[in-house]
Structure 1
Amino acid sequence: MTNVIVPLNAFERWQVLKNGQAAFIKLIAQSGAYGIEIRRELLPEKNLQLDLIKSKIQKYGLFTVYSAPIELWREDHSLNIEDLTKVFREGDQLGAKWVKVSLGYFKKVHSDVFVLKNFLSDYPEIQLLVENDQTSYGGDVVRLKEFFESVTLYGISVKMTFDVGNWYYSYQDLEFALSELGPYVIYLHLKQVENQKGEPVTVPLQNEGNTSWKKAFFQLPSNIMKAVEFPIEPIEKTEEYIRFIKELAKESEAAQCKSLM
């Protein structure tokens, strides 16, 4: 059975900022989600309310992902220690098992992955995830592959969040990304991206239009964690989308089992 995560940025931004992320935990749990993705950019500036959020998450037994809009590597290609330390401390306070950031300005020749290895040794209970973002550098397939090859070579535990829609924003080929980065992926962000007036726009998953997200869905292992990261309106449709993902995962599992026979 596929485990489905609901990121808080799937709901209307103003509602989340007004009511706080803790207010949506009960609905997410009762919709059949396995977990929740707390978004750093949607937390209050002064009082992050991490303890409140953690207590409600624990009440419903949800798996926790903490997503922060920081870049792992600075423009000078050094590790972003200051922001990374802050985010990992917050993730630890939140009880998050996964912390997700974007790549930033990694450069194989100049970025010291051993500094990252030493940093992660202080947080053995937290898995670092790096996601392809919508920038030209953090969403570049070749650069991402170089990073994952480097950390893998030296036994550094970093895995990938594969955002199926962000490749369109960074003008990368989805199938090329799958072929190059598939082995590192443990978390799949699902969204449908359509061209509207010459610009890519994220919309809810559909069985028509641009359904290229299905290529990632069916090509990656059927049991990896999946997130419904697209506009959910009204929020009561959360359960419907989770059910849709779970049913599609059964199809994917059956197809992958058949291919092995």
Structure 2
Amino acid sequence: MAEVAIVASAFGAQSIWRDGHAAWSIPARRAGAQAFEVRRELMEDAAAVPEALLALGTALAREGLWRVWSTPDSLYDDAGALDETALRAAIAAGRALGARIVKLQLGGFAGEAHAARLVAVLEACGARTGDVGDGPRVVVENGQLEQGGRLAQFTGLFNALRDSGAAGVIGMTFDIGNWQWPGEPPLLAAAALAPHVEYIHCKAVAGEGARRFAAAPCDDDMTLRAALALLPTHVPRGIEFPFDPARLDADAAHYVEWLGAA
């Protein structure tokens, strides 16, 4: 069985805004999840200060949930430069939360990995690089936009890090559904990026064109199952699709069990 994280938005963005993340740790634990993904975009600024994040992390740990810190900030800015400010802020927030994983978007990576600076910032901030360190592990996620959502950017990044002697300093969150927004084949991406994947976001995609949206997968969702077969089986899987609010507890428990065994 794979470990399963519930992404906060699965309980509904409005629910998280109204109640805060901690209030949903009990339904997450009740559903059988092992982890909870905290979303920066679903909290007020006051909830993202170190003291508040420490309290939130304590509340989640009390329910037996390890934590993922997710920020919409990007590792590389629009000009392709390493965004050290965003990286430092993400790691600091993750450390305050007690997160195992800190997730950023890739952003405007354009071929230059800035490997020496990346390693220096990771080490200075206490992040885990490969097997070194006991801090949070930094991963980059494929997003829904052209920038930060193209397979060539991710293969380019990991190749550049390897060529710079910095292979393995960061990993990847592989979002199975997000590839469909910029028109990338999820299975081709899975085959190419599997060695770098350390966390998987799972969802189906409904709709067409710009009107796509995340949806719960059917039990026989062939794209999701085929992608999971190509990706590492030992890494955690995150539920990033909405639960049915009319049967929230039962829906959450069903998908935690299903995804853990898929």
Task: Please indicate, yes or no, whether the TM-score normalized by the shorter chain is above 0.5.
Answer: yes
SS at match of 2:103: strand
Map 1:1-261 to 2 at 5 A.
1-48=1-48, 49-108=52-111, 110-122=112-124, 123-124=126-127, 125-153=135-163, 154-155=165-166, 156-196=168-208, 199-207=211-219, 211-234=222-245, 235-236=248-249, 237-248=251-262
CA displacement 1:101-156 (0-9 Å, x = unmatched) = 01111122x44121111000121312110110011120100111110122234235
- 2:174–2:200 Cα contact (<8 Å) kept: yes
Deviation of 1:47 (Å): 3.3
Instruction: Pick which of 146-155 and 34-43 moved more.
Output: 146-155
SS at match of 1:102: strand
Instruction: Pick which of 4-13 and 47-56 moved more.
Output: 47-56
Residues 85 and 221 (structure 1 numbering): CA distance in 2 closer, same or farther, change over 3 Å? closer
- 2:108–2:147 Cα contact (<8 Å) kept: yes
Deviation of 1:202 (Å): 1.4
The residue type equivalent to 1:182 in the other structure is A
The residue type equivalent to 1:57 in the other structure is L
* Partner Cα separation in structure 2 for residue 221 and residue 181 of structure 1: 10
* Partner Cα separation in structure 1 for residue 3 and residue 118 of structure 2: 29
The count of residues paired between Structure 1 and Structure 2 equals 246
Residues 195 and 146 (structure 1 numbering): CA distance in 2 closer, same or farther, change over 3 Å? same
Deviation of 1:90 (Å): 1.0
* Partner Cα separation in structure 1 for residue 187 and residue 2 of structure 2: 22
* Partner Cα separation in structure 1 for residue 83 and residue 210 of structure 2: 35
Residues 129 and 27 (structure 1 numbering): CA distance in 2 closer, same or farther, change over 3 Å? same
Question: What value does the CA root-mean-square deviation take over the aligned residues?
Answer: 1.7
* Partner Cα separation in structure 1 for residue 121 and residue 236 of structure 2: 25
The residue type equivalent to 1:115 in the other structure is R
* Partner Cα separation in structure 2 for residue 220 and residue 111 of structure 1: 24
TM-score by length of 1: 0.89
Percentage of matched positions with identical amino acids: 26
Residues 196 and 106 (structure 1 numbering): CA distance in 2 closer, same or farther, change over 3 Å? closer
Deviation of 1:179 (Å): 2.0
Deviation of 1:217 (Å): 1.4
* Partner Cα separation in structure 2 for residue 189 and residue 103 of structure 1: 15
Deviation of 1:164 (Å): 0.2
TM-score by length of 2: 0.88
- 2:191–2:231 Cα contact (<8 Å) kept: no
Deviation of 1:198 (Å): 7.1
* Partner Cα separation in structure 2 for residue 221 and residue 96 of structure 1: 21
The residue type equivalent to 1:42 in the other structure is L
- 1:100–1:130 Cα contact (<8 Å) kept: yes
Alignment match, 1:251: none
CA displacement 1:171-206 (0-9 Å, x = unmatched) = 111122112111111111100012358732211111
- 1:192–1:211 Cα contact (<8 Å) kept: no
The residue type equivalent to 2:144 in the other structure is Q
The residue type equivalent to 1:243 in the other structure is E
The residue type equivalent to 2:211 in the other structure is E
Where structure 2 has 5 or more consecutive residues not aligned to the other structure, the ranges are 128-134
Deviation above 4 Å: which 4+ runs of structure 1? none
SS at match of 1:53: helix
